[in-house]
Amino acid sequence: MAGSDPQPKKATPPRPATDQPRKPLQVMHISRKTNEEIISETSSEKDFSEQSKDKRFSKKVPVETSIAPLKKGPEQKKVIEESHSNNLQAMTMEDLLRSESSSDDKNINSYENKNNFGQQPRQVDEFDFDEDEFLAALEENQPIGSTGEIAKGSVIAIESDGIYVDIGGKAPGFMPKNECGLGVITNLKERFPKGLEVEVLVTREQNADGMVTISCRALELRKSWDKVQNLAKEGKVIRVKINGFNRGGVTCDFEGLRGFIPRSQLENGENHQSLVSKTINAAFLEVNPERRKLVLSEKKAAIASRFSELEIGQLIEGEILTIKPYGFFVDLKGVSGLLHQSLVTNGSIRSLREIFQPGESIKALITDLDPSRGRIGLNTALLEGPPGELITDKSKVMEEAEDRAIKARNSLNKEKIDPNKDGTRINLSS
């Protein structure tokens, strides 16, 4: 720029003289011994790392060898290391595994030979074995008292919270006070004196001390449910005492079980609270031990009691209630029976109304009786002499119904055979 001072020029270095002699080149000397040792160490480490990473048999893996800690001179140590590295390079993984397996077999064989030295192999027949003693030992060590099992034993001790019963196990069974029976037990010593033989139900298996929990109450409840189920199958009527009520009905107790009677199943359901402390007849509607559900019915009891007065082969008198396409429904004083169209007459009819009318009184034989389902099957064709007599002379058949019923029962007892064809005859009067 104008007016500015010019920059000073850099000094140029002096040029060397052309006739000046050059210095000789310096060469670094590397020892052959040190170089070979480094190459041997790095190659062995590289082979070992690659072999462990890739798991290939073609790589070379060093073999662990135990070298005695002896002091050797420099020259001798060098020779050993070189021979060792050459052996490693020449050995493959397959050779290594083969050598290890052979060495293990040798060790095992040598160990077995050492243990079996001076001993002869024994056979099974030479051992003392008694099958009866073996089974007896198993029975002694077998735990006694699994859940749900019935056991018998004797009372050995009485405490304030329960009793101890010897049931034949390692330890006695313990029965809590509230499991000693149905209801409230105030005096355990009077109810369960020492030495009393009792039958109990195991409710909990043995603990670490070998003691099981037992119950008389659970066993009595099981027996009660079994009894109730059998009574329900037979259609029996029972007597129960009403001990409570609610909006839906009344409650009662039977054989230690709590039962319920709905208002719709009572004869006087509108004033059901007045039934408390009274005893009534009841039949079974539902029995379910798993859900502990017991439902009863007073109305069904009236029907069941009527069924108890009936039997197969009995001549009964009733009144025609309704006429259906398949037969007549007959009122039998509290229960209804069905006179099927196929059992009305042995003759051919065009309409059921040709024979009986609603409100008409008839006599018929009972040929089917099912109290559990509330079914009664009737038959009038057995009262006929010639086929179709009910159509032509119905009044005569009804007048002579009692005598004809006796003949019909006798003929059926002779002709009706069990479906199994074993020669057993069915008695309709039983």
State how far the Cα of 177 lies from the Cα of 185, in Å rounded to an integer: 8
- 382 inside domain: yes
Identify residue 11 by its one-letter amino acid code: A
**Same domain membership, residue 216 and residue 295:** no
pLDDT at 369: 86
CA 65 to chain centre: 62
Q: What is the pTM of this model?
A: 0.49
Q: Which two tokens stand for residue 249?
A: 């009905």
| Number of domains composing the chain | 3
Bridge partners of residue 389, in order along the sequence: none
**Same domain membership, residue 322 and residue 410:** yes
pLDDT at 418: 47
Classify strands 162-166 and 197-204 as parallel, antiparallel or unpaired: unpaired
**Same domain membership, residue 409 and residue 315:** yes
Q: What is the pLDDT along the chain (430 residues), one digit of tens a residue?
A: 444 455 555 555 555 555 555 655 555 555 455 555 655 655 555 554 455 444 444 444 444 444 444 444 445 544 445 555 555 555 555 565 666 555 555 555 554 554 444 455 555 454 555 667 666 655 555 556 678 888 889 999 999 889 999 988 777 889 998 898 887 788 888 889 999 999 998 888 877 777 889 999 999 999 999 999 999 888 788 999 999 999 999 999 998 899 999 999 998 888 899 999 999 999 999 999 999 999 999 988 888 788 888 888 889 999 999 999 899 999 988 788 999 999 998 888 888 888 898 999 999 999 888 876 778 999 999 998 888 888 888 889 899 889 888 888 877 666 554 444 443 333 333 3
**Same domain membership, residue 242 and residue 215:** no
Do the beta carbons of residue 192 and residue 163 sit within 8 Å? yes
Which of 160, 185, 220 is the last residue in one of the domains?
A: 220
Which of 288, 304, 320 is the last residue in one of the domains?
A: 304
Do the beta carbons of residue 85 and residue 44 sit within 8 Å? yes
pLDDT at 114: 47
**Same domain membership, residue 348 and residue 297:** no
Q: What is the CATH number of the domain that holds 317?
A: 2.40.50.140
User: Which residue, among 238, 236, 201, 202, has the nearest Cα to 220 in the 3D structure?
Assistant: 201
Q: Which domain holds residue 402?
A: 309-415
- 422 inside domain: no
pLDDT at 34: 54
Within a 13 Å sphere around the CA of 267, how many CA atoms are in the beta-carbon half? 12
Which of 171, 195, 220 is the last residue in one of the domains?
A: 220
**Strand, coil or helix: what is 364?**
strand
- 22 inside domain: no
